[in-house]
Chains A and B, each alone.
Chain A
Amino acid sequence: MNFLNKAPGFYFIVMMCCIGLYRCHDTIDSPGVADVDLTHIPYQPIPYLPDIPTGFPALEQPVDNPMTIDGIRLGRKLFYDPILSIDSTISCSSCHQQPKSFTDQLDFSPGVSGNTHRSSISLLNVAFQYHGFFWDGRAATLELQALQPIENVIEMGESWENVETKLRRNSGYQSDFRKAFGIESASMINRDLATKAISQFERTIISGGNTRYDRFVRGEIFLNDNETNGYLMFFNVDPVLPDAQCGHCHTAPLFGTTDYFNNGLQESADLEGFADKGLGAITGKASDNGKFKTPTLRNLVFTAPYMHDGRFTTIQQVVEHYTSGGKFSPNKSAFLNNLHLTESQKSDLISFILTLTDSSVLTNPAYKNPF
């Protein structure tokens, strides 16, 4: 029997069944419009006590977002859940992948509708940053940072209204949000709590203490000759060896700062000639044009390509750029001049930078995809 020859009534029944099935699917996790009381689910928050590496700053948790075991658990789920994007293809973890030290190892990160115009920045030790997020510092706090990619047309392309609806309908998230924040009903799930949870998880991504550098600082090991030479140049400790100028911006122990610098990537005769104005586009100050946040050098070996636009594919290229002095612009960092380092000295510098490698963070089960 030819399917197309069915009577119109048959198609009507099929269509109604489809609608019914769709509605059944819609209500698998929740009653949809009606609110859901969550007070029967226990709310017993247990504070999370982070393990801070020796010499690191104290982890200052926001007063309105203290870390809890359940908050972190929820944040980890949200971090890995593509439900946050419009077509359920992109999650936070798409651009911040654990095996790649929480980058995506791409020059420009792909989103739901094309590529962004910046390379994803590592989340390592983001807990210790308090003054600006993204390469251009456009988010004041980690919580505000987590708010933005959802509604970025290129990145996730979703609206927070839709995300909130999706989360409120999901019985698993209803329970998770109740346990994390003590909300009384599903309707209380909102973007504020979602970004708080994501931030709590991101603050657990701490790396330090396991590297050769950290063990050297604690007096447990010696660096080899190449690493030692690199260290002396990195921090300009030795009167004989040249200053590699690294330690001004990549300061210990995090090997980044919350400051912004023009690191000589874009040539410009004046302060207005930058193709990507970076911090200047946010502050509106011409002197901030061409400046970008200093990323950490910890786990650099896993985070290629480098710079905000991923223009350098190897650490050697990065060192070459800095030792050559970079391209001219009026606000180029005063530390960028031709350093005249020998090939051997450049190699030693890289040897030292590689002492900042902590591969344990790439496989730490606490950071893995929970799904």
Chain B
Amino acid sequence: MKIQALCLSVLLLIGLNSCKKDTGGTLTLHFKAFYDGQSLRMFDTKPFTNPEQVQFTHLSFMVSDLQLLDQSAKVNLKDVELVDLSFDDANSADGGYTITIDNLPAKSYSGLSFGIGVPADMNSKKPADYPSSSPLSNSSYYWVAWDSFIFMKTEGRIDTIGNGSFDTGFAFHTGTDNLYRIVMANIPILIEDGKNKNIDIDLDYKKVLDGIDIKSNPQNHNPKDSLQIKVLVQNLSNALTLVQ
């Protein structure tokens, strides 16, 4: 009788355990564009260096090696993603570009990290080396003269005299191995079973363009523009904000 009871208990425990569904939690990242603290839509007129005004027409960047940090290990979330913030309407701009990762082990993580651009091993290849499903297959994001993928595109038009005539285009792109930047935020991130954790990653383009003379040099693809590209990349750390 005792043996029968023991067997029954064991079976019951096994049954109960199998009923438990460990689905993990979800992390949702919202990348959003701002300008001087305000949500940024394409074609909005924004003040730049007085009397100049700018309108943005395209904002995007590559995010790579997206990871949740743990004290003992890193959890890889995504190899590479093209984050396109070129939204025309307010709702889309407010929502931002979303990356959702499901089924994450429930626990408290110590931070989040990602690269802006692509690391050297990915950058050593060309678009033709990637399948069409990869954002890196897009040859518009490769610049032959740099032998590099384009890490970040910031494009628009500038009104240089403040009369409302946005007659000059500007296009600032970044790239090359030495300008790949890893962004790391050491903040506790709690992932709970069956729950979604939202994190906003805000990028303020007024800060991205800080110190850039658009009027004098509205583009930066020539080898002689390397200093301007460095300024853009250095500005990133100030321009990014992580909000839980």
Q: Do A and B bind each other?
A: yes
Chain B residue nearest in CB terms to A249? B140
A64, B61: Cα distance in complex, Å:
33
Selecting from A103-111, A332-340, A360-368, the interface stretch reads A332-340
Chain B residue nearest in CB terms to A331? B57
A271, B44: Cα distance in complex, Å:
13
Knowing A334-B57, A334-B155, the reply to whether A286 touches B88 (Cβ < 8 A) is yes
Among B58, B144, B170, find the residue whose CB has the most chain A CB atoms closer than 10 A.
B144
Q: Return chain B residues, CB-CB under 8 Å to A257.
A: 138-140
A: interface residue count bin: 35 or more
* B-facing residues in A116-158 (Cβ within 8 Å): 130-131
A258, B141: Cα distance in complex, Å:
12
In the complex the two chains form, is A335's CB within 8 Å of B43's CB? no
Q: Return chain B residues, CB-CB under 8 Å to A330.
A: 43, 55, 57, 157, 166
A249, B143: Cα distance in complex, Å:
10
Q: Return chain B residues, CB-CB under 8 Å to A253.
A: 128
A236, B168: Cα distance in complex, Å:
19
Knowing A287-B43, A334-B169, the reply to whether A57 touches B222 (Cβ < 8 A) is no
In the complex the two chains form, is A251's CB within 8 Å of B43's CB? no
Q: Return chain B residues, CB-CB under 8 Å to A161.
A: none
For residue B156, CB closer than 8 A to chain A, the reply is yes
Q: Return chain B residues, CB-CB under 8 Å to A236.
A: 145, 221-222
Q: Mark A45-81, 1 if CB is under 8 A from B, else 0.
A: 0000000000111101000000000000000000000
Q: Return chain A residues, CB-CB under 8 Å to B235.
A: none
A57, B142: Cα distance in complex, Å:
14
* B-facing residues in A314-343 (Cβ within 8 Å): 328, 330-337
For residue B121, CB closer than 8 A to chain A, the reply is no
Knowing A239-B224, A257-B138, A258-B138, the reply to whether A58 touches B219 (Cβ < 8 A) is no
Q: Return chain B residues, CB-CB under 8 Å to A249.
A: 140
For residue A23, CB closer than 8 A to chain B, the reply is no
In the complex the two chains form, is B169's CB within 8 Å of A332's CB? yes
In the complex the two chains form, is B132's CB within 8 Å of A60's CB? yes
| Nearest CB of A to B219, in Å | 7
A366, B141: Cα distance in complex, Å:
34
For residue B86, CB closer than 8 A to chain A, the reply is yes
Q: Mark B50-78, 1 if CB is under 8 A from A, else 0.
A: 00000101100000000000000000000
A334, B221: Cα distance in complex, Å:
13
Give the dominant DSSP class at A's interface.
loop
Q: Return chain A residues, CB-CB under 8 Å to B170.
A: 334
Q: Return chain A residues, CB-CB under 8 Å to B126.
A: 55
Knowing A243-B221, A330-B157, the reply to whether A251 touches B140 (Cβ < 8 A) is yes
For residue B218, CB closer than 8 A to chain A, the reply is yes
For residue B223, CB closer than 8 A to chain A, the reply is yes
Chain A residue nearest in CB terms to B88? A287
| Nearest CB of A to B23, in Å | 30
Q: Return chain A residues, CB-CB under 8 Å to B137.
A: 57
In the complex the two chains form, is B127's CB within 8 Å of A57's CB? yes
Chain A residue nearest in CB terms to B56? A334
A287, B127: Cα distance in complex, Å:
26
| Nearest CB of A to B191, in Å | 34
For residue A285, CB closer than 8 A to chain B, the reply is yes
Knowing A259-B138, A335-B171, the reply to whether A243 touches B144 (Cβ < 8 A) is no
A334 contact from B58, B142, B143, B224, Cβ within 8 A: B58
For residue B15, CB closer than 8 A to chain A, the reply is no
A242, B194: Cα distance in complex, Å:
57
Knowing A253-B128, A287-B57, A330-B166, the reply to whether A235 touches B140 (Cβ < 8 A) is no
Q: Return chain A residues, CB-CB under 8 Å to B223.
A: 237-239
Question: 9 interchain pairs (CB within 8 A)?
Answer: A56-B128, A236-B222, A251-B140, A257-B138, A286-B88, A287-B86, A330-B57, A332-B169, A337-B169
A57-B129, A334-B57 known; 6 new pairs, CB 8 Å cut-off, are A249-B140, A287-B57, A287-B86, A332-B169, A334-B219, A335-B169
The chain A residues found within 8 Å of chain B, CB to CB, are 55-58, 60, 130-131, 235-239, 243, 247-249, 251-254, 257-259, 271, 285-287, 328, 330-337
The chain B residues found within 8 Å of chain A, CB to CB, are 42-43, 55, 57-58, 86, 88, 126-132, 137-140, 142-145, 155-157, 166-171, 218-219, 221-224
